[in-house]
Amino acid sequence: MSTIVRRSIDREPAAFGLIDDIGGVATVLLAVFGLAGLYAPILAAIATILLGVALLAQGKALLAQYTQASVELAAKTKVSASAAGVRFALIVLAAGGGALGVLALLDINSAVLTPIASIMFGAGLVLSSVSLWHLNAIRRASAEGEASLRDMLANQMIFDSLSIQTFAGLAAIILGVLAASGATYDLTFNLVALLILGSALALRGGSLNTILLGLMRPV
pLDDT digits (tens, 9 = 90+) for 42-86: 999 999 999 998 888 878 877 777 777 666 655 555 444 444 566
Distance between CA atoms of 106 and 7, rounded to whole angstroms?
Answer: 41
Distances (CA, A) of 130 to 96, 114, 124, 126: 20, 25, 10, 7
Whether the Cβ atoms of residue 122 and residue 193 lie closer than 8 Å to each other: yes
pLDDT digits (tens, 9 = 90+) for 1-11: 444 434 444 44
39 compared with 62, residue with greater pLDDT: 39
Which pLDDT score, from 0 to 100, does residue 175 have? 92
